[in-house]
């Protein structure tokens, strides 16, 4: 029931909340900081300044109104589809994993992975943009082949916590997963 | 300033380890990053050199990682035998599996590798590899010690070699140490790159003696078989071979040729075969995989090498290791490779090679050649990878104590070594590289990067049984316990 502070791969602070509902059910929530008002101001101002300078030369008011629409629509799209506030992983032994992410607008996307489709949960390394990072992922069982891996589902995709945080979640997950199998 | 601080930070842990580990003078363990464009799945001499050397260094307790560019869908991080970690970085390939060199675009990823693996020595391979030169350049900017291994000989005359030599001069003038595969190669590199010979070491290649064992039962005793295994290109003297075949086949009716390899000069050999009707006596096997080479070698009595230029000929060592009599041209580094009684050296002419072969054939007929087994035992002690690794380790020990040139000194070195024009240009590029590094350090500070979990080296977590598992999986010890439980279910 405690909140722990970690950082993500670019050094921004995030918090990890571990909740142990029972011995075989645990929930991990990674929360990123909210959208800062400063960032919103900077983006809005820059769009409007550009629009105003274009308006200054063209004397076309459509530019200004389109700038307003662009900022409003952009902001809505951003909070609805891009900005994730919380990502949570609910591990229920013998049942499965529930992965959900809550967007800044309140929209929630949830997926569930059955336990008998999961082969394991591992920490893996990958090249992401111009960095090499660790990430937590679920290995999916290949139905045709007992030892094969048919796919990989990465967890905490948008918050991207660092290794120290991943290790904590990983160990805790393994305790539950190994107990029920 | 940033450079010196890094050197200190990097060296501190290893010296602590030194004092903790009191097992002799060579107890210092390095974190080595091998960089080259050429690595498996690409096949060749450089690739196997890097792999074998890395394996022996891991055995000696050093931490080794390899960085190369991605091959097709093989991108990301893989583990090979004994926890050898390979970074397949997504860099654009330009020509002949060599990446584009812009001096900058590879910095973010290479820096990431160097920082997270806490690399102390960067070891670049092959002068054909742009990525190797890039990594040397970045490593020096980041204040890491650098070693370079040259695997090939170059000319001085044509435009492309003039340009390559200039680039090599720039790349090597502030590299800490250079390794060449033979004395001829050393001479060549020192001349090409205008280096101080004292910082150039000679460490020859090695063969895996367990791979190349003799098997006389595979030979057919009613005939004498000459084996040639090389790429069929001009450099390997295939035109000479085309001259030798008809002459000797005419004189010795029981002589057979077995030729492995592929290349543009195959036509020459096919023409010869057609013209003299030698289809049953000259067999062209086409491209051979490395694992099949031994099977071909043991069928022969004599190994023939007709190279026109060669830094260090692996093929003749492999031939001798299989117990064959070796006949070769006296070019490049070949005379240093084998002791005189194991090899017959000839001038690179058809006449001289025929004479040499006749002599060996006569010896073979009179059965006065040493038995294959005794040749093998002599060769197996000559070139072993453990010996190569030991000598490379000494280079690392020496390099680790050296200072990496700070920026100002590096400029002076570049200007004095590479001429006023190229020197100034590359001094400018070095400044840009340094500024780019500062920008990256501001964007993603070193402390925001996770230090990688060591698979090899003093704190290595790699265990033997992990070798069975899929190479893409992470190999954390805790996970493994869970994994075995999963499997027993």
- How confident is the model over B169-209, as pLDDT tens digits? 888 988 999 999 888 889 888 988 888 899 999 998 888 77
The token pair that represents B447 in the structure block: 């402390």
Interface test with A, best of B439, B473, B475, B480 (most A CBs within 10 A): B473
* Position B467 confidence tier, pLDDT thresholds 50, 70, 90: very low
% of chain B surpassing 90 pLDDT: 42
DSSP string, B321-373: HTT-EEEEE--TTHHHHS-GGGEEEE-SSHHHHHHHHHHHHHHHHTT-SPPHH
Check A131 against B112: CB less than 8 A apart.
yes
Q: Say whether residue A163 is in contact with chain B using an 8 A CB cutoff.
A: yes
Check B474 against A122: CB less than 8 A apart.
yes
Cβ-based contacts of A149 with chain B (< 8 Å): 470
Residue A79 C-alpha, separation from nearest chain B C-alpha, in angstroms: 24
| Confidence (pLDDT) at B79 | 93
Residue B408, helix vs strand vs coil: helix
The token pair that represents B1 in the structure block: 């300033």
Cβ-based contacts of A163 with chain B (< 8 Å): 450
Check A132 against B113: CB less than 8 A apart.
yes
The token pair that represents A135 in the structure block: 């990430």
- Search chain A and give the residue with CA nearest B87: A127
Check B486 against A9: CB less than 8 A apart.
no
Average pLDDT, chain B: 84
Interface test with A, best of B73, B108, B445, B448 (most A CBs within 10 A): B448
> Considering only residues 103 to 142 of chain A, which have any Cβ-Cβ distance to chain B shorter than 8 Å?
119-120, 122-127, 130-134, 139
Interface test with A, best of B111, B449, B452 (most A CBs within 10 A): B449
Mean pLDDT calculated for residue range B9-18: 38
Check B482 against A133: CB less than 8 A apart.
no
- Search chain B and give the residue with CA nearest A8: B448
* pLDDT of A68 over the 70 cut: yes
| Confidence (pLDDT) at A2 | 65
Domain boundaries, chain B: 17-206+388-485, 216-383
Residue A172, Cβ density class (10 Å: 0-12 exposed, 13-18 middle, ≥19 buried): middle
- Search chain A and give the residue with CA nearest B478: A171
* Position B16 confidence tier, pLDDT thresholds 50, 70, 90: very low
Q: Say whether residue A9 is in contact with chain B using an 8 A CB cutoff.
A: yes
* Position B368 confidence tier, pLDDT thresholds 50, 70, 90: confident
| Confidence (pLDDT) at B3 | 39
Distance of CA A155 to the CA centre of its chain: 8
Check B77 against A9: CB less than 8 A apart.
no
| Confidence (pLDDT) at B255 | 92
| Confidence (pLDDT) at B42 | 82
Q: Greater confidence, B460 or A44?
A: A44
* pLDDT of B317 over the 70 cut: yes
Measured CA to CA, the distance from residue B335 to residue B331 in angstroms comes to 7
Check A131 against B444: CB less than 8 A apart.
yes
- Closest CB to A124 among B116, B474, B485: B474
> Nearest to residue A100, comparing CAs of A79, A81, A84, A124?
A84
Q: Express each pLDDT in B401-456 by its tens digit.
A: 888 888 888 888 888 888 888 888 889 999 999 999 999 999 989 988 899 988 88
* pLDDT of A16 over the 90 cut: yes
Query: What CATH code would you report for B216-383?
Result: 3.40.50.2000
B476-481 CB contacts, 8 Å cutoff, 24+ apart: B476/A122, B476/A123, B476/A170, B478/A170, B478/A171, B478/A174, B479/A120, B479/A122, B479/A123, B479/A170, B479/A174, B481/A178
Check B445 against A132: CB less than 8 A apart.
no
- Superfamily of segment(s) B17-206+388-485: Glycogen Phosphorylase B; (3.40.50.2000)
Say which range, A139-153, A156-170, B5-19, B34-48, has the weakest mean pLDDT: B5-19
Q: Greater confidence, B163 or A123?
A: A123
| Confidence (pLDDT) at B17 | 39
* Position B137 confidence tier, pLDDT thresholds 50, 70, 90: very high
* pLDDT of B1 over the 70 cut: no
| Confidence (pLDDT) at B337 | 87
Q: Express each pLDDT in B441-465 by its tens digit.
A: 999 899 888 999 888 888 888 875 5
Q: b/e map of A59-84 (b: 16 or more CB within 10 Å)?
A: eeeebeeebeeebeeebeebbeeebb
* Position B485 confidence tier, pLDDT thresholds 50, 70, 90: very low
Residue B167 C-alpha, separation from nearest chain A C-alpha, in angstroms: 27
Whether B17-206+388-485 shares its CATH topology with B216-383 is answered: yes
DSSP string, B181-215: SSHHHHHHHHHHHT--GGGEEE------TTTS---
Mean pLDDT calculated for residue range B76-105: 86
* Position A15 confidence tier, pLDDT thresholds 50, 70, 90: very high
Residue B486 C-alpha, separation from nearest chain A C-alpha, in angstroms: 7
* pLDDT of B482 over the 70 cut: no
* pLDDT of A142 over the 90 cut: no
% of chain B surpassing 70 pLDDT: 89
* Position B487 confidence tier, pLDDT thresholds 50, 70, 90: very low
| Confidence (pLDDT) at B464 | 59
- Closest CB to A120 among B75, B116, B483: B483
Residue B79 forms beta bridges with which residues? B85
The token pair that represents A147 in the structure block: 């030892």
* pLDDT of A178 over the 90 cut: no
| Confidence (pLDDT) at B27 | 64
> Nearest to residue B63, comparing CAs of B385, B459, B452?
B459
> Nearest to residue B395, comparing CAs of B150, B168, B178, B135?
B178
Cis, bond preceding B41 (omega within 30 deg of 0): yes
């Amino acid at each position: 029931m405690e909140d722990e502070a970690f950082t993500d791969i670019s050094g921004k602070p995030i918090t990890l909340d571990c909740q142990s509902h029972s011995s075989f059910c645990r929930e991990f929530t990674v929360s990123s900081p909210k959208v800062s008002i400063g960032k919103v101001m900077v983006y809005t101002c820059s769009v409007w300044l550009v629009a105003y300078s274009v308006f200054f030369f063209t004397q076309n008011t459509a530019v200004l109104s389109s700038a307003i629409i662009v900022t409003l629509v952009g902001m809505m799209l951003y909070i609805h589809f891009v900005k994730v506030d919380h990502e949570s992983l609910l591990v229920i032994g013998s049942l499965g994993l529930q992965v959900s992410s809550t967007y800044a607008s309140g929209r929630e996307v949830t997926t569930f992975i059955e336990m008998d489709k999961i082969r394991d949960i591992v920490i893996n390394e990958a090249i992401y943009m111009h960095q090499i990072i660790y990430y937590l992922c679920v290995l999916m069982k290949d139905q045709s082949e007992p030892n094969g891996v048919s796919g990989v589902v990465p967890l905490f995709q948008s918050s991207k916590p660092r290794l120290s945080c991943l290790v904590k979640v990983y160990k805790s997950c393994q305790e539950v997963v190994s107990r029920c199998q | 300033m940033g450079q010196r601080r890094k050197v200190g930070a990097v060296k501190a842990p290893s010296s602590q380890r030194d004092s903790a580990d009191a097992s002799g003078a060579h107890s210092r363990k390095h974190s080595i990053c091998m960089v080259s464009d050429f690595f498996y799945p690409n096949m060749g001499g450089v690739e196997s050199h890097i792999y074998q050397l890395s394996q022996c260094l891991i055995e000696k307790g050093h931490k080794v990682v390899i960085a190369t560019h991605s091959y097709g869908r093989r991108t990301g991080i893989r583990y090979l035998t004994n926890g050898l970690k390979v970074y397949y970085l997504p860099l654009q390939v330009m020509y002949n599996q060599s990446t584009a060199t812009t001096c900058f675009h590879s910095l973010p990823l290479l820096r990431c590798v160097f920082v997270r693996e806490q690399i102390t020595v960067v070891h670049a391979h092959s002068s054909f590899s742009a990525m190797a030169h890039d990594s040397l350049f970045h490593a020096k900017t980041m204040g890491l010690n650098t070693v370079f291994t040259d695997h090939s000989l170059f000319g001085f005359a044509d435009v492309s070699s003039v340009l390559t030599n200039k680039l090599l001069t720039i790349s090597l003038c502030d590299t800490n140490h250079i390794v060449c595969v033979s004395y001829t190669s050393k001479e060549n590199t020192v001349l090409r790159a205008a280096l101080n010979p004292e910082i150039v070491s000679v460490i020859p290649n090695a063969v895996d003696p367990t791979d190349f064992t003799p098997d006389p039962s595979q030979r057919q005793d009613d005939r004498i078989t000459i084996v040639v295994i090389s790429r069929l290109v001009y450099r390997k003297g295939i035109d000479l071979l085309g001259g030798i075949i008809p002459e000797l086949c005419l004189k010795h009716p029981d002589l057979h040729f077995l030729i492995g390899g592929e290349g543009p000069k195959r036509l020459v050999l096919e023409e010869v075969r057609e013209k003299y009707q030698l289809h049953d006596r000259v067999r062209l096997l086409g491209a051979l995989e490395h694992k099949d080479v031994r099977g071909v070698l043991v069928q022969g009595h004599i190994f023939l090498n007709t190279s026109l230029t060669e830094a260090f000929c692996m093929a003749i060592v492999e031939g001798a290791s299989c117990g064959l009599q070796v006949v070769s041209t006296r070019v490049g580094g070949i005379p240093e490779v084998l002791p005189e009684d194991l090899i017959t050296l000839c001038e690179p002419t058809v006449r001289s090679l025929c004479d040499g072969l006749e002599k060996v054939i006569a010896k073979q007929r009179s059965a006065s050649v040493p038995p294959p087994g005794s040749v093998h035992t002599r060769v197996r002690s000559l070139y072993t990878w453990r010996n190569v690794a030991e000598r490379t380790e000494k280079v690392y020990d020496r390099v680790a104590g050296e200072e990496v040139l700070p920026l100002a000194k590096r400029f002076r070195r570049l200007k004095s070594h590479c001429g006023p024009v190229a020197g100034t240009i590359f001094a400018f590029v070095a400044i840009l590289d340094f500024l780019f590094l500062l920008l990256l350090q501001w964007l993603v500070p070193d402390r925001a990067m996770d230090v990688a979990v060591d698979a090899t080296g003093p704190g290595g977590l790699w265990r033997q049984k992990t070798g069975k598992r899929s190479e893409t999986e992470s190999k954390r010890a805790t996970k493994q316990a869970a994994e075995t439980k999963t499997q027993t279910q």
